[in-house]
Structure 1
Amino acid sequence: MSHLAAAQPLFWRDSRLPHVELRVVSDGREVCYAPHSHAQWSMGCITSGRSTFEYVGRHYEVEAGSLVFMNPQWVHACNPVNNQPWGYLMLYVDAHWLAKLRFHLGLLDEPTWQDMGCDLSESSDLFSGFQSLAEALLDECITTDQKRDRVEMFLSKVMVSISKAAERAEQPFPRATESLQELARYLDCHCMDELSIEWMAQRAGLSPSHLVRVFRKHFGMTPHAYQINRRIQLGQKAIRQGAPIADAAIAAGFFDQPHFQRVFKRLVAATPGQYVRPLKRRLNQV
């Protein structure tokens, strides 16, 4: 059976290539996401069927052959259309590594991250290239050095291809006031703290109800959802670094492991067990 024909969500990672991660879903009817964001830049391609794609307040319907691109921390969600089957690939790329690549390609003036403005593409060349890269990453006969070279070559091609549309992304939401930006920075650093909406509102100098409205307007989600999203990102990072699920839950501030598992599945559209399990063993079970 082809690696890309697996029935369950598959995640490929290699500790020797920590800057890239691949997700494979062949039938996404049961894969439903709540609005969320990733710490990495991410790229997806619809390999079969069609789905909805919500990205920073914009709504699309995408189908086989479509490519989607998401900046780090920009809110999005993809979900099935009327329970119709759909399959997709997702590539998650470390933003610092990608910024250096873009700098070396002459696409940035300095090797620091700059958001890109390209949301969608229907390039058949990039689409087939993505599928070939996915097959290569999943192929145990291809060496790590070869995979590293293929990742860099493909992403170089993607960056150059979308550079005209991606020179500079307009921020998806109106610029937040300094007090809201300060609160968001605080939540980034204290996402595991139990903070009431009243406490956050007082810190921002707003009423609780007004804080919820304006925070969602500027950041795409409520303060509580923003905080939970950051905590799940910490849990994912811990799992990628080899932590057991119980330890990852604690690292993300969840002392109730079933609660961590429920929230993780809602935002990642996979269980922590599916995310942590080595790809080789899961492929053997297909």
Structure 2
Amino acid sequence: MKPCLDVRVWRDSDVPGLEVSRILSSPHAFPKHAHEHYAIGVMEDGGAYCLEPDRDDCFVAAGEIALINPGQVHSGIPPSGVRATYRMLNVDVLWMRRLAQDLGREGYPEFTRWVVGAPRAREMLLRLTCLVAEGGELLAKESAMVAAFSLLMAGHAAMRPSLPGPGGEPEAVRRVKEHLHEHLDAKVSLEELAAETGLSRYHLLRVFKAATGMSPYAYHLQLRVEHARRLLLKGLPFVQAASEAGFSDQSHFSNTFRHFFGMTPGQYLAR
């Protein structure tokens, strides 16, 4: 798959809890994955499925907003022949929790629907992305961010005491996750994971997929590419970030990064 022809990413020190991107006319299909942050997608043209193409309740059409919680497994698949133009806003978990507290709500917001219309919130999200992209004034950016996410939170979120995490899953899955997190720069075999849990290889695959929606390989690959992304943002050279995430082949790293993020590492870092 070729990279997006037109993609921009903005990170603004005035609003450190936010990362904004705009993708034009992209046919890219994202694999199943999850984020550590809230991911809000504003579809401008075309459309895409947040999950499998047979889930009509997860189709984001032009004018609609996708609401994805931290840890929520999803994909991003345009229908055949369709190119999607959209904006993404990635929002820090602690920022969202502080906003909830400002609104008199305790805990962490959890969006209760995949896709919403919410024209007023959409208008504010578009304004926010423009302000960040164009270097707007601090007060204007902060005001737009609070207004947009207050609307989404008030209309489409419930509160939960904590984010999804270890504890509500089988012990074998927890141990596999820990092992994969601890070996981001190494090859991990299915035999190794089976020995770690005491399950057969077949049973382990079934249990892990049922609990996470992904295979151990897909889960580990996502962890590695996300680790590399954070290292790149810290200023590590491309080769070093790839190596520390277990990618010895630079082409493989670049292709994997593009597969998960819809853009090359160079496009992601360009501002």
**TM-score w.r.t. length of structure 2:** 0.87
Q: Where does residue 146 of structure 1 map in the other structure?
A: 140
Distance 1:276 1:37 in 2: 21
Q: CA deviation at 1:106?
A: 1.8
Match of residue 10 from structure 1: 8
Q: Does 1:214 align with 2:220?
A: no
- Following superposition, the deviation at residue 115 of structure 1 comes to 4.0
- AA matched with 1:96: L
Gaps of 5+ in 1: 1-5, 279-286
- Find the aligned partners of 2:104 and 2:173 in 1 and give their Cα distance: 34
AA aligned opposite 2:141: K
Instruction: Please name the residue that 1:26 is paired with.
Output: 24
Structure 1 stretch displaced more, 184-193 or 40-49: 184-193
What RMSD over aligned residues (CA atoms) do the two structures have, in Å?
2.5
- Residue in structure 2 matched with residue 243 of structure 1 by the alignment: 236
For residue 78 of structure 1, what is the aligned residue in structure 2?
Answer: 76
CA contact (8 A) 2:67 2:113 kept: yes
SS of the residue corresponding to residue 63 of structure 2 reads: coil
- 1:250-269 equivalences under 5 Å are 250-269=243-262
- Any idea what the Cα deviations from partners look like across 1:70-111, whole Å, max 9, x if unmatched? 111221111221112221111001112222221232222x4x
Among candidates 34, 37, 48, match of residue 40 of structure 1: 37
> What residue is the counterpart of 1:99 in the other structure?
97
The CA deviation string for residues 197-251 of structure 1, in whole angstroms up to 9 with x for no partner, is 1111111111112111210111111111111101111111122223332232123
Contact in 2 for aligned 1:117/1:170 (Cα 8 Å): no
Verify the 8 A CA contact 1:22 1:91 in the aligned structure 2: yes
Give me the whole-angstrom Cα distance separating, in 2, the residues matched to 1:135 and 1:228. Answer: 33
Q: C-alpha distance in 2, partners of 1:16/1:256? A: 36
Look up the equivalent residue of 2:200 and give its one-letter code: S
Matched, 1:130 2:125: yes
**Counterparts of 1:20 and 1:186, CA distance in 2:** 30
Asked if the contact 2:127/2:144 (under 8 Å) is kept, the reply is no
What's the counterpart of residue 167 of structure 1?
Answer: 159
CA distance in 1, matches of 2:73, 2:94: 19
Following the alignment from structure 1 to structure 2, what is the Cα–Cα distance between the partners of residues 128 and 92?
A: 17
Greater strand share, structure number? 2
Q: Please point out which of 62, 65, 68 is paired with 1:64.
A: 62
In the aligned structure 2, how far is the partner of 1:189 from the partner of 1:96? 24
After TM superposition, where is structure 1 displaced by more than 6 Å over at least 4 residues in a row?
none
Contact 2:125 2:145 in 1 (8 A): no
Aligned residues of 2:30 and 2:260 also touching (Cα < 8 A): yes
Structure 1-normalised TM-score? 0.83
Measure how far apart 1:114 and its partner are.
5.7
Structure 2 distance, partners of 1:66, 1:274, is 26
**Matched letter for residue 196 of structure 1:** S
User: 1:157 aligns to what?
Assistant: 151
Identical-residue share of aligned pairs (%): 27
Change (3 A) 1:72 1:192: farther
Residue 46 of structure 2 aligns to a residue in which SS?
strand
How far apart in 2 are the matches of 1:80 and 1:43?
17
Does the 8 Å contact 1:10/1:23 carry over to 2? yes
- Which of 184, 192, 196 is the matching residue for 2:185? 192
Distance 2:173 2:208 in 1: 7
Contact 1:201-1:208 within 8 A present in 2 as well = yes
Whole-angstrom distance in 2 between the partners of 1:195 and 1:102: 40
How many residue pairs get aligned? The number is: 263
* Separation in structure 2 between the aligned mates of residue 241 and residue 82 of structure 1, nearest angstrom: 37
Q: Distance in 2 between matches of 1:162 and 1:91?
A: 16
8 Å Cα contact 2:96-2:109 kept in structure 1: no
SS in 2 for 1:35: strand
